[in-house]
Amino acid sequence: MDTHEALLTRRSIRKYRNTPVPEELITKVMTAAIWAPSGGNSQPWRFYVASGDRRDALVRAMIDASGPDAPSPGEYDAMAKRIEEKGRNEGTDRGLMQMGDDGKALGFLGSLRFYDAPVVIAVTGKGQKKGSAGQSIGAAVENLLLAAHAEGLGACWLGIPLRFADRIADMLNIPDDETLATTVCLGYPDTGSSINELGWATGRSRLPFDQVVHLVS
């Protein structure tokens, strides 16, 4: 896949297959992340890539942190099935937030359980909080998402889990001098699922080019 195609076809993936991601693929994707540009080449990012038992324990901790209303895995699967069916029957040119209570729950609670993806990546900022650190970390995350997509993997950038940042830091032994910046989930997309055709708040289109790009000369 060439770069431009990857840029235009990458989408947030919210339904995954159980298939584990081979370590060499994880290494390839994370190598793309660390070659992102950063302010003064400060490379303020650190990545904690959780899979296997550690990822399972992290998901359990997040479900626990979500409180008594968090759906059991069975209830979550049933909810996902209902949304999938709704997407198939009513079309996918809209977002989860437009699909009633099930859609909202799937978006928020699904984010907290990293959409059941086999790999969870916590991204931290290390050292002094320079003004540019957030931008640099954002560039690294975008590299990661694009590299994953180019390798046939799917990913979703997840800010919602930050509401339990302390829990994530505990579970992944993140040192005190690092601050959790964001999280990403990664795995093989469930390509048959209509959930992966839905956007978040609206459809997946973009604002018209002329509205957001001003060619000034």
Ligand X SMILES: Cc1cc2nc3c(=O)[nH]c(=O)nc-3n(C[C@H](O)[C@H](O)[C@H](O)COP(=O)(O)O)c2cc1C
Q: Which residues here bind ligand X, judged by CB under 6 A? A: 11-12, 14, 107, 111, 156-160, 199-200, 204
Kindly tell me which of 111 and 136 has the beta carbon lying closer to ligand X. 111
Smallest distance, Å, CB 198 to ligand X? 9
Kindly tell me which of 113 and 126 has the beta carbon lying closer to ligand X. 113
Smallest distance, Å, CB 206 to ligand X? 8
Kindly tell me which of 21 and 145 has the beta carbon lying closer to ligand X. 145
198-217 burial by CB neighbour count: b if 16+ within 10 A, else e?
Answer: bbbeeeeeeeeeeeeeeeee
Kindly tell me which of 47 and 200 has the beta carbon lying closer to ligand X. 200
Using DSSP's 3-state secondary structure scheme, residue 36 falls into coil
Of the candidates 179, 88, 63, the one whose C-alpha atom is nearest the C-alpha of residue 125 is 179
Smallest distance, Å, CB 75 to ligand X? 19
Using DSSP's 3-state secondary structure scheme, residue 14 falls into coil
Smallest distance, Å, CB 14 to ligand X? 6
Kindly tell me which of 175 and 209 has the beta carbon lying closer to ligand X. 209
104-123 burial by CB neighbour count: b if 16+ within 10 A, else e?
Answer: ebbbebbbbbbbbbbbbbbb
What residue has token string 């660390």? 34
Smallest distance, Å, CB 115 to ligand X? 7
Of the candidates 165, 168, 144, the one whose C-alpha atom is nearest the C-alpha of residue 156 is 144
